[in-house]
Amino acid sequence: MRRGVFTNSLVNVARGLVMGAADVVPGVSGGTMALLLGIYDRLVGQIALLSSGAGRLLRGRPKQAVAMARGADWLFLVSLGCGIAVAIGGLVEVVRVLISEQPVLLSAAFFGLVAATVVTTRREVGRWDARLVVVFVAVAVAVFFVLGIRSGSVAEPSSAVVLGAGALAICAMILPGISGAFVLLLLGLYDPITEAVSDRRLGTIALFGLGAATGLGLFSRLLERLLARSRDLVVAMLMGLMAGSLRVLWPWPADTEDVASFGNAALGAPPASDLASAIVVATVAAAVAAGLHRLGARRRPA
């Protein structure tokens, strides 16, 4: 029994590493990885449970808050959280270097991964009908056009801005297809926030984390209710989010002279020089995604 618990903890740490690595990359969501690995509903449910407990505590009901806290799967949450924290802390500088030096191959890898996730996630819907297809297409088209908006970088964001950015980014991180990192790009805060993590500026990190905790607690409860009441509809919408977000991961954006090539949603034509290598990388990433999905499906509780 102990060996099984230890193995499950290691698996959840590995899942957290994958989710954390995805959250660092603009255009990729940790929620996408959670859905791919088969732990999305479980994660949302656990976060919503703790959020409800915190709400009971704030309303002066400590006994109910303690009961909810005892009912949480702490081993799952702590091991997953450790993996996410290690990945974000250890990979943020690596990803910044890859974005600068290998933007095409990095984009191609995550393009293949997210595209494969859209395909595999279709099995999460119990029964497809015309309404769900329309929802999927409408959300994908809307996200595709919305992600074409991009702002410049903010040099010195205020405390209120950092707090709000944390709340918005964490909501995006838990949604498959909407990247918290890309939300920071849209707000012009990707560089200052990642630099704060890289330089270990604890004040900025704590403020961002406070906003993230607040946003996550409120949003997770809403998302849990939606999944419980209309899961097929929610999954169709999440698939649309992922499909529309592929715009950000297109490896060959236009106008790269004026803006960074990675995360630039201005679509360009692929040059012949690196087309073959990008296709190979995207195909390998898609195969890895399919393998991770099968592994997650096998380990998913009945």
* CB distance 68 to 49 below 8 Å: yes
The Cα 57–Cα 55 span in angstroms is: 5
pLDDT confidence of 255, banded at 50, 70, 90?
A: low
**φ, ψ dihedrals at 253, nearest 5°:** -75, 160
Residue 99 has pLDDT above 90, yes or no: no
Residue 231 has pLDDT above 80, yes or no: yes
Question: What is the pLDDT at residue 6?
Answer: 76
For residue 267, list its beta bridge partners: 253
Say how many C-beta atoms besides its own lie within 10 A of residue 294's C-beta: 12
pLDDT single digits (tens) 148-198: 765 555 667 788 888 888 887 777 667 765 666 667 766 677 778 878 877
Tokens 């805060």, located at residue = 189
In the chain, where the domains are located: 2-299
Comparing C-alpha atoms, which of 300, 287, 259, 291 is closest to residue 115? 287
* CB distance 50 to 65 below 8 Å: no
* CB distance 189 to 263 below 8 Å: no
In 62-150, where do the E strands start and end? none
Calculate the average pLDDT of the chain. Answer: 79
Note the pTM of the prediction, 2 decimals.
0.66
pLDDT confidence of 302, banded at 50, 70, 90?
A: very low
More confident residue, 51 or 176: 51
Question: What is the pLDDT at residue 150?
Answer: 58
Cα angle, residue 181 at apex, residues 177 and 182 outer, rounded to 5°: 65
pLDDT single digits (tens) 256-266: 554 445 556 66
Residue 208 has pLDDT above 70, yes or no: yes
The Cα 159–Cα 182 span in angstroms is: 20
DSSP codes, 248-284: HH-SSBS-TTTS-STT--SB-PPPHHHHHHHHHHHHH
